[in-house]
Structure 1
Amino acid sequence: MNLWQGVNEFVAVAESQNFTKAAAELSISTAQVSRQVRMLEERLGIKLLYRTTRRVHLTEAGQLYYQSCRPLIEALQGAEHAVQQLQSVPQGLIRLTAPVTYGERQLAPVLNAFLEQYPDIRLHCELTNQKMDLIADDYDIAIRLGKIDTPDLVARRLGSRQLFTCASQAYLDDAGIPETLDALRNHNCLVGTLDYWRFRDEQGERILRVNGRLRCNSGEALCDAAMRGLGIVQLPNHYVGDALKRGELVEVLTPFRPEKESISALYPPGRQLSPKVRVLLTYLTEHLGQ
């Protein structure tokens, strides 16, 4: 005997007080709901529902039976969910986009280690400095640096990066060391895509317009120019960090160093994150946060 036969249908009717609504909730026909409830009543040998043309009411026995069945259904649903979670091994394809240099220097080693740990996951990583449309281009995650200006996406902070203002010792020996922000006007500043640099003083954030002989949209090129003694540059740590450690570049205006910028993972809202995406976000947070 199938003790569950008719139970789901009965509970749905009891909660909606309507056979048609119960059928819609269970995605079956109204006739099937009615037949299952009738067979349940026949098996139990007692009436569970009062049926009228407008509403359905529980009998005293029906109320008692409903109160007993509801926890059983919830327990069964919980058991099924637990088993599904146990079996939901992260697997499949993840599509990710990130800025080029940050992706090459900082992100790629972390992603490669992630793939070693999760052999059932495949990764399509697009390194580009263009801001891709996650929904139109079907990306699961976008890594963005700095301030997030896309409120239509969900942002999860992974870590941070630091901007350094620096130059070669040879340049500083020749042009002098700037001690104040105003002193930058007398120096050759190697400019990137933006014609301003960010600093911080006792009043808060300072935005300073800069100019010089070289303007280039490549951080690698600007870092190389600075190491060659062509001027002062402001770049994130993943461009100049190694050169600073080796002494090929020297930080200047250290008291005015700006606050760290966020490194964020963006993904479309309203989506139930799959196990593969959830586990990658957790992995990135743990490792990029270091």
Structure 2
Amino acid sequence: MDSIFGNVDDLFLFCAVVEEGSLLSASKKLKLPVSTMSRRLTALEARLNVRLLEKQGRELVPTEAGEEAFKALSSGMESIQSAFTGMLTDREAIQGRIKLAIPHNFYSGFVRAIIETFLTQYPKVQLDLVLSQEQAVPQTDRDLLMTFELSSMDEMVARPLFKAKHGFFASPEYLESHPAISTPADLDQHEWITVDHQLQLPVYKGDELIQMITIKPKLTVNDIHAVVQATEQGIGVASLPFRHISPNMNLIQLLPEYHRSDRQAYLVYKERKYQPKALTLLIEALIEGVQLAQKSVPVE
């Protein structure tokens, strides 16, 4: 950190020389070359335009101004050193094995960087990462699940993560060979590609529920990327999250004024009184990281 006095490290070097009683002793303690310390201390004195240290025999001792500076600085330097020592000790204490089950597209889309940063920050934490669309219901105090589906999760804690906005899509080729779709009621007459086995699909216009349709899946595949690809190939109609759609895809949005309900993603874990610290920190890191991602590029 730089200030009008230069680098704060230089003030720390000065205090170390006074405490150790010599430049050589301070350099050994800080594992810095004597020449580097001497150069930086000389530069510090030049910036302050005051003599802080003087030779007394073979030793460097503080001048009168140096004594005053040391008294003013030493307690602050001790506080900084103590704070960072405590922080590093706490970080080293965070350890243990955690299991995180998450769909592959969640991980590749926006979670990977969060996980990598977390593991770098807490090197003693071990993570079992399961990339799967299947519901891996948390079984232990160290299990964490990221999911849209909360069925069979009644006894779990579910923390809201983000909402995914969807639209209805099909390929031009599919639309050319199938009946026209001009109203929501037409949707349940078509073949569908789905990521799960939900057959009742709500159709909204704005915030208003218009109707429930019953869909007939021709293909159910538990990966959203595979659903998108199959829709492009003309296999059927699909409800797709906008974040997975790009203008160059072989897709046409159907009934743009209509949509299915937003899908809420959750972090799910067992309710407990004494949660492992590593899991608590990972949960907060994921929630904070996704919120930041939404501010820059909305998770739709």
Match of residue 204 from structure 1: 209
Match of residue 108 from structure 1: 112
Aligned AA (1:222): V
Show CA shifts across 1:77-120 (max 9, x none): xxxxxx98884323332222223443454433432343234333
Matched, 1:141 2:144: yes
Match of residue 174 from structure 2: 171
Match of residue 279 from structure 1: 281
TM-score by length of 1: 0.59
Q: Secondary structure at the match of 2:219?
A: coil
Is the strand fraction higher in 1 or 2?
A: 2
Change (3 A) 1:95 1:204: same
Q: Residue 95 of structure 1 contacts residue 138 of structure 1 at CA under 8 Å; is this kept in 2? A: no
2:234 to 207, 229, 234: 229
Q: Residue 191 of structure 1 contacts residue 211 of structure 1 at CA under 8 Å; is this kept in 2? A: no
Show CA shifts across 1:188-242 (max 9, x none): 3334523333321475263311226x222334443222101232112345xxx44
Q: What are the residue-to-residue correspondences of 1:114-125 with 2, within 5 Å?
A: 114-125=118-129
2:155 to 152, 155, 177: 152
Q: Distance in 1 between matches of 2:210 and 2:86?
A: 50
Q: What are the residue-to-residue correspondences of 1:1-290 with 2, within 5 Å?
A: 87-89=89-91, 90-135=94-139, 139-147=142-150, 149-175=152-178, 178-192=181-195, 193-201=197-205, 203-204=208-209, 206-211=211-216, 214-219=218-223, 220-237=225-242, 241-289=243-291, 290=294
Structure 1 stretches of at least 4 aligned residues deviating more than 6 Å after TM superposition: 83-86
Q: Distance in 2 between matches of 1:184 and 1:168?
A: 14
Q: Which runs of 5+ in 1 are unaligned?
A: 1-82
Q: What is the total number of aligned residue pairs between the two structures?
A: 203
Q: Residue 142 of structure 2 contacts residue 279 of structure 2 at CA under 8 Å; is this kept in 1? A: no
Q: Distance in 1 between matches of 2:120 and 2:179?
A: 49
Show CA shifts across 1:40-93 (max 9, x none): xxxxxxxxxxxxxxxxxxxxxxxxxxxxxxxxxxxxxxxxxxx98884323332
Q: Which moved more, 1:89-98 or 1:188-197?
A: 188-197
Change (3 A) 1:139 1:119: closer
Q: CA deviation at 1:185?
A: 4.0
